[in-house]
Structure 1
């Protein structure tokens, strides 16, 4: 590590004056500690602690090759340019903040000038199974020659570490087409990995992307990503509960983008079978075709399976759900690896609330002429059939879900999302909260308060 520090005389004088007047100085989410600014330039190969009194500046890609990187509650980490924090299969992270003292990963740029892609993001790599030939592969976002980016294996319970009460802001960048870093990327992390109370805000690509593995996610907030909110690929089989995605009105794509395998969608194993309960997915509420990208709630493709329950899908410009491709449609009736969407509240998607709008797979020739209006012949309105217990024509009455600067995703009194009879109840399975008998990510208690932030720039 390279060390450098500055003492802020003005900040000290302001603090002293406040104390002299008997006033308590209340921290804000972007308060910066008064210790050293420590530039991190080298790989980490032994147990290391980053202390809350300092600011740590990532100068390039920093790899945790071995040992555990412990980050104290309240620590601020800033990424500069083409930088990221990568925990390899030989390392581990222990980043546990608190509601009052979240750990914040953000840009080095001054507040008011920050933007998506200011830096790379956080990457965790593990040894849990993925469904690629040979069982291991290289994580996206780096040149293939970069050491330390291999992941995958046979250890279902591989422990990549802990992220709790953590915010990741203004991250993500594209190396080449389809080769990007996200706010948080997990490749092959196992089910002993803990990700709980995590926010990704204004990332340049996806908020959270899961490349295979069995890691579980709980209390996740993704706000205004440039692409998708939660993306899963190549055999992801984790559990997710209490998830919020608020889409970017200008460039946001899908709240969920789920794949099994782009190369062998119907046959690659293990099959992507996430189990997702209690999610709130919010679009930008623009007129159809007016968002910066095709915008939708769920894009399920390339043969993904999965269990999706107790979800609000509201205000998406173009699509509520797209069951994309013949291998994915086949999962709806596959008894071994089933795709099932039930107990879902659909509201104002493509200006429609009484059904699920169809999302046809249009095929065009080289001249742009339509040769097939719907390749899969699947009508997504079937998801609104009575057997799926879809909730239609029911405004979820969320307090301020469309507000970009101070959103409030809590249902108001009288919301149908709070009617317990409308919700399914998960089996505990050592992870799920079985008392969450409501639709959406939040019931009567708002778990997002006190540690999240929604800065414009």
Structure 2
């Protein structure tokens, strides 16, 4: 469910409410900064520091054109309607908070009046690969973006696989994202063409109006991320994204939310390379448990248009409509390869569409111009049989999470004695970027890495 804000055409002049009104409550477990405030209305063209103890309000689209934007721990950044922070290909961000003093991006509206889509979110643009003609693209979410060089991403004919877009550590992004037009949206966090030297660790995106985190191409890695109550998908990747992800949590509510993962290749050319095939370890995807058949479709994960993914030690639970859909022949072919580029292994499925004994077969029919079904399943892929086939160690089993569907104070930890903690049900991550000690199913073992810096405000 997405929202179109006509007021984006004329930026609003919202009154700023000092941060001292947002006290140290369970919704905001970290002490607020002082009420020293500064409006930001001009692009940044040199090294700039936003300091701890300050609150900065984005008045419109702010492009960091060059230099490094440094944001100190505990700084607070508010977004007016019609604003966003964009780190362009020739700039970097260094936003490194701490668990005790996270960096918070949130709405400029008063506490109690905030809502998803209040502002546009954070955008990182890099010089990595993107599988479109010419090797570069205009990022979604901007009017007339094709003619604005500041909205371009990708390295063209000579992409830089390691291009460093900067660092986001211990960062919360709240009430962000909006839709300008169909398929032209800003997300809570957009990562487009960023390379493997980009550092994304300990990030929460809460109540975003479109996707929580979306990757467009590139090979940026992500760890310790939680997306709560996104209006659309929690994790979306496309256009050849092939980074690494470990320790990821998604939670959807009963009103909005589409997929835990939407994985796409290139919608216009499904065979385009490089393919979207990230490697993902230790992730937890939680649906709302609402009745099936209501709008929008709410499901665990879908792989389409030639996208794959290598998923290990995963939990997929409580989605209304289905657990997984391998949609279309191009993505099904990646599962069927001798060396698969699409698979799930060591995965628990539980109570998706209320089913506690199996998962759903999701047919992908084709229809003619009159609406008649010409092929009942173009993909020729029975998820019920293929995903639960022997040798993959996937099963339908209750992970026994403590309180994963609580929207205001969730607890995603497995309870004592949970089968998710049994190392025999998991595989050891391979090392390198991945933590090899995480031999458990899901994003959390016995350590709660969300403690102290995450928050789940309703408004």
Give the structure-1-normalised TM-score.
0.92
Counterpart mapping for 1:29-428 below 5 A: 29=29, 32-143=32-143, 144=145, 145-153=147-155, 154-265=159-270, 267-290=271-294, 292-335=295-338, 338-366=341-369, 368-381=371-384, 382-392=386-396, 394-428=397-431
Residues 27, 320 of structure 1: alpha-carbon distance in 2 compared, 3 angstrom cutoff: closer
Q: Residues 319 and 351 of structure 2 are in contact (CA less than 8 Å); yes or no, is this contact kept in structure 1?
A: yes
Indicate the structure whose relative CO is greater, using CA pairs within 8 Å and at least 6 residues apart.
Answer: 2
Deviations 1:136-169 (A, max 9, x none): 1111101223340111111011000000000000
Deviation digits for residues 110-141 of structure 1 (CA, Å, limit 9, x no counterpart): 11111111000000000011111111111110
CA gap 1:403/1:25 in 2 versus in 1, 3 angstroms: closer
Structure-2 change in CA distance of 1:112 and 1:366 (3 Å):
farther
Work out the CA distance in 2 between the residues paired with 1:283 and 1:298: 11
Larger Rg: 1
8 A Cα contact 1:6 1:37, kept in partner: no
Q: 1:388 to 1:27 in 2, by over 3 A?
A: closer
CA RMSD of aligned residues (A): 2.2
Q: Contact conserved, 2:119 with 2:178, CA < 8 A, in 1? A: yes
- The residue that corresponds to 1:431 in the other structure is 433
239-248 or 333-342: bigger deviation: 333-342
- Distance verdict in 2 for CA 1:129–1:337, change over 3 Å: farther
Mapped partners of 2:370, 2:175: distance in 1? 39
User: Which secondary structure does the structure 1 equivalent of 2:58 belong to?
Assistant: strand
Residue 385 of structure 1, CA deviation = 1.0
Asked if the contact 2:429–2:439 (Cα under 8 Å) also holds between the matched residues in 1, the reply is no
SS in 1 for 2:135: coil
Deviation at 1:176, TM superposition (A): 1.0
Deviates more, 1:172-181 or 1:382-391: 382-391
Q: Please identify, of 74-83 and 139-148, the stretch whose mean Cα deviation from structure 2 is larger.
A: 139-148
3-state SS, counterpart of residue 424 of structure 2: helix
Deviation, 1:365, is 4.5
Aligned counterparts of 1:11 and 1:304: Cα–Cα separation in 2: 46
Shift of 1:272: 1.2
| CA–CA distance in structure 2, aligned partners of residues 416 and 7 of structure 1 | 47
Q: Is the 8 A contact 1:119 1:171 kept in 2?
A: yes
Q: Does the Cα contact within 8 Å between 1:7 and 1:35 map onto a contact in 2?
A: no
Q: Which moved more, 1:357-366 or 1:307-316?
A: 357-366
Structure-2 separation of matches of 1:454 and 1:35: 22
Which residues of structure 2 form unaligned runs of 5+?
1-14
Give 1:336 shift.
Answer: 5.7
What is the rounded CA distance, in whole Å, between the counterparts of 2:164 and 2:37 in structure 1?
30
- Cα deviation code 1:291-314 (max 9, x no counterpart): x31111011111112210000000
- C-alpha distance 276-6 of structure 1, shift in aligned 2 (>3 A): closer
Closer, same or farther in 2 for the Cα pair 1:46/1:352, shift >3 Å? Answer: same
Aligned length: 438
Structure 1: which 4+ aligned runs deviate by more than 6 Å?
5-8, 24-27
Q: 1: distance between equivalents of 2:61 and 2:139?
A: 14
Rounded Cα–Cα distance in structure 2 between residues aligned with 1:349 and 1:356: 7
State the shift of 1:414 in Å. Answer: 1.1
Match of 1:55, SS state, is strand
Task: Tell me the TM-score normalised to structure 2 length.
Answer: 0.92
Shift of 1:90: 0.4
Write the distance in 2 (CA, Å) between the matches of 1:25 and 1:356.
40
1:376 is displaced (CA, Å) by: 1.8
Please, which moves more after superposition, 188-197 or 330-339?
330-339
Q: In 2, Cα distance between the equivalents of 1:268 and 1:220?
A: 29
Q: 8 Å contact 1:306–1:337 — kept in the other structure?
A: no
